[in-house]
Each structure stands twice: as C-alpha cells, then as structure tokens.
C-alpha cells in the first residue's frame, strides 16, 4: 500500500504588500510651557518630557527649556545665559538657578503653610494637597503629626467637631470623611432659589409701600394747598367788600347814647 505523500505547507505569499504602521498623532510636541506659580512642578514635567523622548544631551535640554520660557523670565537669568558656555552640565546648573531665583524658598513655603494658607471655598482634600505642596517632602511622605494638626485646625469648627470620633483614622481616610461631611452640609441650589425669590418678593412689597406713601404724601400736599388757597380767597373777598351802614341803626344808636356834653357836666357836678 502506497504511503501518502506528506503535505508540504504552502509558502507564504511573498507578493502580498507589506503593511507599514504610521502613527496617527504627531509626536513632535513642544516642551511644557513655563509655570511661574510652581517652578518645581514645571521642571518635573520637563524631566518627564525629556525622558519620554530619550533626550539626555544637556545643551539640547537647556535649549528646549529656554524656548518654553517667556522673554521677561529669561531676562532675569541673563547673567547665566551669557556665561553658559563655561558650564559642563548647563541644564542642571540652569535648573538649580531657576529654583533658587524664580521659586519660593523652603522657608517661605513653610511660613505660608503655617500662617496664611486657608481652606476658603476649596474641598478639604484640595486644601490638604496644597499644604503638602508647600511643606518639605519629609512631612508629606510620612504620617507627620504637624501636617495632621495643621490640616484639622484649618477646617471649620463644626467640621472639626464632627471629625472628633474619627481622629484616630489615618489622614487619607480622614480627608475623605471631611469631603463627604462638607458636601452634605453644603446648601442645595433649591435653597438659593427660594432665598432669591423671597428677597425679590420683599423688595417688590417695599417698592409698593414706598409708592403708596409717596402718592399719599402728594395727595395730602394738594389738599392742604387747596384749603390754603380757598381760605386766602375768602379773606381777600371779605376785605374787598365795602361795609354798608344802616341809617336806621345809626339813628337808633344815637338816640340811646347820651351827649358828650351832658356826660362832662354830670362828672363836674
């Protein structure tokens, strides 16, 4: 019995066109823009940018860094840029100088966290991250009691009282509770609408009352003026009318009055 011939695998079709994958998004992105309010964060973004694009040449890193900075900021570093050719690691030296001149000092950041930083209208979690940004990394990486007490002391008094039973919890859990409690205590938008409608109603009533008082005062003034005018006209009319004497009345009065001479003679007697 003849054996079946082994099936030879067919060779791949070499005539098929090769598929070349091209990126759909351009990877030529500019360096991150300068952030004056947080120079340290900006340099961290630059380091990630250089690492992702395999840029390790210090002069190239410095050139890209300068291209991302505004001219007024670059002018503050003029002395370094004019003498940069003497630096063996220009980007590293430039970064150190920027953090020294443009960024806040360690003492300034700690002072701001301890004295002037407040919760304001931020959620407690956002406020805590801001404090962690200002304080030294050693205080952030560990469960620092100073950071914990500083955070709790800046919360509203009613929120501090509500967190008393949970003060033994780790700080991250405490922050989540603070966010939830503050969100529950926030007034609803319907309350704002109700208050606005009530204020509008009261203003309308006040305007109506003021209008009524104004009309009443004007009417009283008109009535008083009319009365005064009618009184003056009556007075002038009486003055203008001549007084007519009754002859019979005069004769009657003369008959009843004694003569002047008789009165004098009676007194002398």
Query: Chain centroid to CA 267: how far?
Result: 105
Separation between Cα atoms, residue 246 and residue 248, nearest integer Å: 6
The angle subtended at Cα 34 by Cα 30 and Cα 36, nearest 5°, is 170
CB 106 within 8 A of CB 135: no
pLDDT at 89: 94
When mean pLDDT is compared across 29-38, 116-125, 222-231, the lowest value belongs to 222-231
Q: Which of 142, 138, 177 is nearest to 160 (CA)?
A: 177
The residue count of the chain comes to: 269
Q: Which of 145, 143, 140, 142 is nearest to 130 (CA)?
A: 140
The better pLDDT of the pair 70, 263 is held by: 70
The better pLDDT of the pair 149, 137 is held by: 149
Separation between Cα atoms, residue 77 and residue 231, nearest integer Å: 92
The answer, yes or no, to whether residue 115 has pLDDT greater than 70, is yes
When mean pLDDT is compared across 33-37, 124-128, 212-216, the lowest value belongs to 212-216
The better pLDDT of the pair 142, 234 is held by: 142
pLDDT at 218: 78
The contacts found for 69-75 with CB under 8 angstroms, 24 or more apart, are 69/34, 70/34, 73/34, 73/36, 73/102
The token pair at 208 is 């109506």
CA end-to-end span of the chain: 203
Give me the chain's average pLDDT, please.
Answer: 76
What pTM was estimated for this model as a whole? 0.48
The token pair at 220 is 């009283």
The answer, yes or no, to whether residue 254 has pLDDT greater than 60, is no
The answer, yes or no, to whether residue 141 has pLDDT greater than 80, is no
Q: How confident is the model at residue 227 (pLDDT cuts 50, 70, 90)?
A: confident
The residue behind tokens 């950071």 is 147
The answer, yes or no, to whether residue 136 has pLDDT greater than 90, is no
The answer, yes or no, to whether residue 22 has pLDDT greater than 80, is no
Separation between Cα atoms, residue 164 and residue 140, nearest integer Å: 22
Summarised one tens digit per residue, pLDDT across range 80-101 is 999 999 999 999 999 999 998 9
Query: Chain centroid to CA 246: how far?
Result: 93
């Amino acid at each position: 019995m003849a054996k079946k011939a082994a099936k030879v695998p067919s060779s791949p079709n070499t005539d098929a066109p090769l598929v070349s994958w091209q990126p759909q998004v351009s990877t030529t992105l500019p360096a991150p823009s300068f952030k004056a309010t947080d120079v340290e964060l900006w340099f961290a973004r630059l380091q990630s940018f250089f690492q992702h694009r395999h840029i390790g040449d210090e002069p190239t890193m410095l050139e890209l860094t300068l291209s991302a900075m505004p001219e007024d900021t670059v002018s503050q570093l003029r002395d370094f840029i004019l003498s940069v050719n003497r630096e063996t690691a220009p980007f590293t030296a430039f970064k150190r100088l920027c953090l020294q001149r443009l960024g806040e000092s360690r003492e300034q950041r700690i002072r701001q966290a301890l004295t002037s930083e407040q919760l304001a209208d931020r959620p407690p979690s956002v406020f805590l991250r801001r404090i962690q940004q200002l304080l030294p990394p050693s205080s952030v990486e560990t469960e620092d009691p100073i950071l914990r007490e500083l955070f709790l002391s800046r919360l509203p008094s009613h929120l501090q009282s509500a967190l008393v039973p949970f003060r033994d919890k780790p700080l991250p859990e405490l922050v989540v509770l603070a966010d939830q409690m503050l969100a529950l205590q926030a007034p609803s938008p319907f309350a704002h609408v109700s208050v606005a409608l009530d204020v509008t109603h009261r203003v309308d009533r006040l305007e109506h009352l003021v209008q009524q008082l104004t009309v009443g005062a004007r009417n009283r003034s008109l009535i008083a003026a009319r009365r005064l005018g009618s009184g003056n006209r009556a007075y002038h009319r009486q003055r203008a009318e001549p007084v007519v004497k009754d002859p019979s009345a005069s004769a009657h009065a003369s008959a009843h009055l004694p003569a002047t001479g008789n009165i004098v003679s009676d007194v002398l007697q």
